[in-house]
Amino acid sequence: MTNTMWGGRFAASPAKIMEEINASIDFDKRLWRHDILASKAHVAMLGATGIIKPKEAEEITRGLDKIQAEIEAGTFTFSRALEDIHLNVESRLTELIGPVAGKLHTARSRNDQVATDFRLYVRDEIGTIDGALRALQLALARQALTHAAAVMPGFTHLQTAQPITFGHHLLAYVEMLGRDRGRFADTAKRLNESPLGAAALAGTPFPIDREATAKALGFARPSANSLDAVSDRDFALETLAASSIAAMHLSRLAEEIVNWTSPQWGFVRLSDKFTTGSSIMPQKRNPDAAELVRAKTGRIAGAFQALLMVMKGLPLAYAKDMQEDKEPVFDALDALKLGIAAMTGMVEDLEPDLRAMKRAAAAGHSTATDLADWLVLNLGLPFREAHHVTGKIVALAESQGCDLQKLPLADLKSVEKRITKEVYSALDVAGSVKSRTSYGGTAPANVKREAKKWIKRLEKDGLSR
């Protein structure tokens, strides 16, 4: 038996393997809410324009309401023989209200139907992700405010570079996530066009009102070109690209948490909520949540590449290849939302060891740059000469097996005779971070100001949702 929705041209049923490769209902059924929403907007427009009778439009809408209630109640039966969510809904609508159900598909195609559903879904997901990223930013900013003056080592090349504050470090991720939210917001603006009414690819001869359906669905406007409307998946690619960058940022923070929680670093501790043990080593506390967030970056970035490869060779307009667009998007956005939620929990849960961080900040001659700056500011040395003098002093400290702050004044003077005891204030890690008052610097006063500003902005953003 052929498919009654499209089988007039065909005399025989598809092969079993054809049904297997062709059906998408197993995954696109998650679009049911958006499919019904778009169908309601479409049928309301058909009734308002007189393309179908108003009573028919009302009957179809009541049938769609019944289907929505069935799906919400878990009593709706999805059939693989009906391929996708669109045909499943339409078939059930026919069972409920009879032949008038067939008028729902007037002046549209599954091509513009799925493009509309998918845009609605991705738009909703972007809103959810934005809220989750905001919550993570807020968790980071609150920790940053609490630990605005907590000294820790800053690194380049994973080598001790200069002292910074823990709050400053956390605010760096607040900035990253802010850019992520900006990318998602930009994507949402570009996707906010309605494909509905483009039909298969060429538009329709029916006197439809695309402005009305676009407005009903919350789109800014209808798409201007019917070919582009049904074939465009840029919105999905942009969302996956933004997701990949956001996941990369999560992964970087996850990597830091993995390092920080190790006994070799000992900078922070995670509670039992976000760690696991070992089946053989009783002492272990593994940062599995952070490791899994780090790992999910691969599948999210992979989803972007997968869809990019699907789209790269497709001529206009629609091709069945595009059925492969939804699974990578569904999987990637699910993974990203889970990763953000897990990271938010970890950030709220972590407890820094302030003594361990400050002790590490003082190691590795981290205030060498402060010494060079002191030589410039107080002795008038050109920076390159000060850099050379400081290098000699560092070598002297290494030869004696001590930190810069522990070198006797006489030893410092043996390299540069004009050095005075006031230099020791520059060699203290707390003094070092306090001196970095330039805009964007790590000084505790800066960090407090920035953290408060972010908290105020993020809390206000949350209230406006």
In sequence order, which ranges of 151-233 are alpha helices (DSSP H)?
A: 166-191, 210-216, 226-231
Distance CA 244, CA 319 (A): 26
CA distance linking residue 254 with residue 287, whole number of Å: 9
> How far is residue 459's CA from residue 323's CA, in Å, rounded to a whole number?
40
Nearest CA to 35 out of 217, 197, 240 is that of 217
Give the pairing of strands 193-194 and 159-165: unpaired
Name which of 290, 214, 227 is nearest 259 in CA terms: 290
Nearest to 299 by CA among 235, 234, 250: 250
Question: At CA 331, angle to CA 329 and CA 336, rounded to 5?
Answer: 95
Q: How many CB atoms lie within 10 A of CB 304?
A: 23
Contact 347, 250 (CB under 8 A): no
SS3 194: strand
Task: In whole angstroms, give the CA distance from residue 232 to residue 216.
Answer: 21
The CA-atom distances, in angstroms, between 431 and each of 162, 164, 352 are: 12, 11, 20
Instruction: Give the single-character DSSP code of 68.
Output: H
**Closest alpha carbon to 162 in 420, 408, 426:** 426
3-state class (DSSP) for residue 18: helix
Q: CA 236, CA 328: separation in Å to the nearest integer?
A: 10
CA-based torsion, 92, 94, 100, 105: positive or negative: positive
How many C-alpha atoms does 291 have within 13 Å on its Cβ side? 10
Catalytic residues: 157, 278
Output Rg (C-alpha) for the chain, integer angstroms: 30
Nearest to 197 by CA among 84, 116, 86, 100: 116
